[in-house]
Structure 1
Amino acid sequence: MTLPKLFSGAAAAVLLGLATLGTSSCSKDFIDLNDPTRLPSADGYTDSLSIVTGVTAAYSSLQDLYGNGSNRGLFVFAEIPSDNSFTVSSGELLNEFNDFTLASSNPRLQSQWLVTYRAIARCNVILSRAGGVKLTAATRNRYFGEVRFIRALAYFNAVRIWGDIPLVTTEITSIADAYQFGRMPKEQVYALIEEDLAFAENNLPATQTGVNLGRITKGAAQGLMGKVLLTQKKYDAAATALKKVIDGNAYALQAAYANIFLTTNELNTEILAAARYTKGGLGIGSSFSTWFMPVLPAAVALTVNGNVGTGQQFNSVDPDLVAAFTASGSSDVRAAASFGASTVGTLTQYYTKKYSDVPTSAFDAENDWIILRYADVLLMYAEAVNEQGGPNALALDAVNRVIRRSRNLPVATPAPAVDLPAAISRADLTTRLELERRLELNFEGHRWFDLVRTDRAIPVMNAFFTRTGSASRLDNNKLVFPLPIQEIQTNPILTQNTGYN
């Protein structure tokens, strides 16, 4: 059992993500236990400035959730277990995710759990305290909408990782209270997520500009709602939510696929939501360009990352994904924008180019993590419509726009040579959507969850293991990950997922 550690002053501020904000609103001591669902919050959220600071702290949680110095982030759960990626990093125990040999003591489970419930705790503090602070109703509800989106996102990732999880919706002020939180059925978790996103949709602006650029919008709430509903197989409701994004005309596909990922083109017209990072020695740069790179020859490293540090091969492009792009044809421009290759002797290593940047120093790059983008919305909409009995013209247009862009064609102009036929069957469109999502969204944190959502993880991954000569095999128990053993040892009412110790 992990003993509690007492933090105070600046240490507490760093833990809450507030140290760089120049405020003393969270200066009192608090206890940070191993399970942050038991994190009693600091006092001090008593005026509008402290609420603004708290909302900023909630946004900083996105870096924790998607990857920073202390936590590797969602790619560990969303890409490494899939047929897109592999890892050569056994020292980090990432190989356990790759091979489906996970032990509940794996530190990556614990770190993701910690940052998830820390994010939720930050949101709950604002929701508990801001009601008593003098703010206009519109301002208060906008702040509430932003943090409820972040809370919904944290819970959505968590419920897809672990299944049934503790559901904490209020500020926890005592350790005794914290021990009351056991695992709740995932249906109840999804109900809260839907409530949070509905509130966010109703209280957030359609666009953000100027200094507010990058904050959560109505469209982001609608898009995430669509993904949440699709995950639950609520196809009609999902199609309705996603069509709101399409009809809102606030987003558009970038003309060139490669432009989506340029650090000089962040928050472009395709981005609904992103975890933001900034390089320059500020402590808020991204590590992906270092984590995902292979160990490159000096000449290649100089071109790819300015020869700053060496790659760590945490999340490498699997040759199976390369083969899928090859089968897609040489006209598919997504291949060149998605991965590069380095050959040393007879060994060819593939690496993702979506996070390429020249860092200020190792682990200090500019790349944002794109949480949700418009191409994802279009493909999800087509899926939601197709699952209700087959495609219609709007659903086909949605996926055809993505396909045309992949061939460097104008997205709004019919292209008979590449467009899907109007008479395509439901089964054939299902197969094509699975492929398009894999190619379009590779290494963006969707592949594993897509396979689980569509009930395709077991057949796809076992076929992959057979094809690659792996001894690994997937069964129903491994569609969720084990709860961290530290949490079960600390909180006696938590139980483990079936098939794990």
Structure 2
Amino acid sequence: MKKIIKTGLALIILFSAMGCKKFLVEDLKTELAPTNTYTSTYGFEVGSAGLYALTRSEYNTFGEGGAYLHNGACPYEALQAATDIADVINSDASLLPFANLTLNSSERFVGTYWNWAYSIISSANLMLIYSEKNTNWDSPSDKERFQAEARFFRAYAYRTLVYLYGDVPYVETILYDFKLNFTRTPKAEVLGHIIDDLTFASQHLPANPDQVKDGKLTKWAAYHLLSEMHLLNKAYVPAEQAALAVINSGYYGLMKTRFGVNKDKAGDVFSDLFLENNQNRLKNANRESIWVLQFEFNTVGGGTNSDDWSRRAWNPNYSTMTGFVLADTLGGRGLAQLTPMKWWVGTAGTNATGNVPGIFEATDIRNSNYNIKRNWYYNNPGETSLYGKKANITEQTWFSTKSLFPAITKFFYGRAENLGLTGSYKDRVKFRLAETYLLLAEAYLGQGNPAKAADAVNEVRKRAGASVVGAGQMTMDFLLDERIRELVGEESRRFTLVRTNKLVDRVKLYNTAIKDKVMDFHALWPIPQSIIDANRDAVFPQNPGYGK
């Protein structure tokens, strides 16, 4: 797939660039047009590859040959800010308005997430329309396979839109004429379309993950997302059924023994999941990964230095401290755009003021030093008086200079030949089976069945070496804590808290910086002002709390 990704990306950008600038409208004036591309199975492969690239550009910051859209640092971290997991202290200017709840309709990421989602939607619609016109297929099943991919991506994009903005225009065709009178489709109706698309995708995407290329969708990715969307729709029985379809498929299992590139070195199976080159099923027999975004280093169609700055966001800025130099073994270049909150990560093993136990049990490998680095040692041989000695984590290093704090190692990434890299070239797991179990638990809680919810959560906890919990412990807050233990930084925490109606409660309880500011309307972002201004022939109301 990576061999044709750049061609596909060029195709998608040409098809949808005008859609970004003029709301949802496309102007097809190029030699690389759908009429001469979507004429064979190969042409649809090119378009499909572009859709994959455009989808992963959610993580792109400043371009560099990728599907540039955001033009700002750490866009994905805007979905972690103002939640219950991380503080945002003296961070990048593009992130601060989201963290301190001063965002408005003109903020950069408010607009770029909207544009990103509708770029995917317009490109998916284009593929769907031309799939009905094309008759030159290599195989009778090709048409439905490409339609399933397009409908998955369309659903994935609308997922982001309804989480962030609520009611949004639903469009399933290509608009050749400039339109100025869009209206907002009710969220419930959009969710119905999302579920229809994912149902189709679950029926027509390939079933065997061992017979598709790394990064390509299978029906189980569709079922995983379908479970989440049923949860958002408060349809708990279908959510259960979709999650169980993945779990019982026979293709996936939680990784419980060491595997991959460092299986014979110090570590544990949880840390193995996040090592470079361990994400994909075919290369390292990782049976837990359901869908993996491909950012592989130095590969045509792989990542760029502007892709996935999660490492930069979550890792401490240790290299600014006397006695430290950048090192791949310390996670590479971190700038601490986000700092983990004490209440969940704890302070055990540090010298930070006050002992906070955190939410992990002593036996939980997700809290091991392989997964949360608490012990830091000076590594600059030029500083002979410090070299090899332990560096203390203090209130100042954690919350003022942000130079040292307990760090989540799943985002460590560095290359000895270029330690100044900002981007991470690790393939990124988007869906994995551990989350499917946690979605199943959420579905059981929605049905008032905490015993079965506990059974689902215990599958994840047993792999981690944590104690088995019973029905009496199984509340939504416990499940949300478990999602931190397992998925912190991987999931969009904002989406999870909005879906479970716990955003305001959890922020008030844990986020001291904004606990007196957060209100119900903060569950949504504002509609981009540029969209409201351009839609001059019809009223396009702003979300409550953000003005007109």
User: For this structure pair, what is the TM-score category when the shorter chain's length is used for normalisation?
Assistant: 0.7 to 0.9
Q: Distance in 2 between matches of 1:164 and 1:108?
A: 18
Q: What's 2:265 paired with?
A: none
Residue in structure 2 matched with residue 101 of structure 1 by the alignment: 102
- 370, 374, 377: which one pairs with 2:433? 374
Match of 2:469, as an amino acid? L
Instruction: Indicate whether 1:171 and 2:171 are aligned.
Output: no
Q: Which deviations, in whole Å up to 9, do the C-alpha atoms of 1:398-440 show, x marking residues without a partner?
A: 21111111227xxxxxxxxx2123xx23x74434222211211
Q: CA deviation at 1:203?
A: 0.4
Q: 2:363 aligns with which of 312, 331, 336?
A: 331
Higher percent of residues as helix: 1
- CA apart distance, 1:344: 6.8
- CA–CA distance in structure 2, aligned partners of residues 240 and 74 of structure 1: 33
Distance change (3 Å), C-alpha of 1:369 and 1:264: closer
Match for residue 314 of structure 2? 292
Letter in 1 for 2:427: D
Cα-to-partner distance string for 1:366-408 (whole Å, 9 max, x where unaligned): 2233222111111111221232122345x43321111111227
**Aligned pair in 2 of structure 1 residues 23, 382: CA closer, same or farther (>3 Å)?**
closer
Partner of 2:263 in structure 1?
none
1:287–1:247 Cα change, 3 Å: closer
Rounded to whole Å, the distance in 2 between the matches of 1:431 and 1:144 is: 39
Structure 1 residue identity aligned to 2:318: L
Contact map agreement 1:89 1:312 (CA 8 A) in 2: no
Number of residue pairs the alignment of both structures matches: 467
CA distance in 2 between partners of 1:332 and 1:307 (Å): 22
Equivalent in the alignment of 2:155: 152
Which whole-Å CA distance do the structure 1 matches of 2:193 and 2:414 have between them? 41
Match in the other structure for 2:54: 61
Q: Percent same amino acid among aligned pairs? A: 24
Quick one: which amino acid aligns to residue 527 of structure 2?
L
Letter in 1 for 2:465: R
- The equivalences for 1:257-406 within 5 A come to 257-267=270-280, 268-280=286-298, 284-285=303-304, 286-288=307-309, 289-297=311-319, 300=324, 302-304=326-328, 310-323=333-346, 326-336=358-368, 337-341=370-374, 343=392, 346-348=396-398, 349-350=404-405, 351-359=407-415, 362-393=421-452, 395-406=453-464
Written as runs of structure 1 = structure 2, the 5 A alignment for 1:232-271 is 232-255=233-256, 256-267=269-280, 268-271=286-289
Query: Within the alignment, does 1:459 sit opposite 2:505 as a pair?
Result: yes
Alpha carbons of 1:33 and 1:143: their partners in 2 closer, same or farther (altered >3 Å)? closer
Higher mean Cα deviation, 73-82 or 263-272? 73-82
Tell me if structure 2 keeps the 8 A contact 1:257–1:334.
yes
Matched, 1:121 2:179: no
Superimposed CA distance per residue, residues 178-223 of structure 1 (whole angstroms, 9 cap, x where no aligned partner): x343211011110111111011011011223466222111111111
CA distance in 1, matches of 2:92, 2:492: 25
Gaps of 5+ in 1: 1-16, 409-417
Alpha carbons 2:82, 2:100 under 8 Å: kept = yes
Look up the match of 1:39.
26
Question: Could you tell me how far apart the structure 2 residues matched to 1:325 and 1:224 are?
Answer: 34
- C-alpha distance in structure 1 between counterparts of 2:238 and 2:85, whole Å: 30
Larger CA deviation: 192-201 vs 132-141: 132-141
Cα deviation 1:4-35 (Å, max 9, x = unaligned): xxxxxxxxxxxxx9654698899899745524
* Alignment partner of 1:432 is 2:478: yes
AA partner of residue 143 (structure 1) = F
Q: State whether residues 287 and 365 of structure 1, in contact with CA within 8 Å, keep that contact through their aligned partners in structure 2.
A: yes
Deviation (angstroms), 1:281: 7.6
Q: Cα deviations across residues 119-153 of structure 1 (Å, max 9, x unaligned)?
A: 11111110111222212431111111112111111
Q: Distance in 1 between matches of 2:12 and 2:525?
A: 37
**Using a 3 Å threshold, how does the CA distance of structure 1 residues 347 and 431 change in structure 2: closer, same or farther?**
same
Partners of 1:230 and 1:238 within 8 A in 2: yes
- After superposition, the C-alpha distances for 1:69-101 in whole angstroms (9 at most, x for unaligned) are 343576334311211123335543311111112
Give the distance between the partners of 1:29 and 1:384, measured in 2 at CA. 37
Deviation at 1:448, TM superposition (A): 2.2
Shift in alpha-carbon separation, 1:363–1:327, aligned structure 2, 3 A? closer
Q: Distance in 2 between matches of 1:270 and 1:354?
A: 15
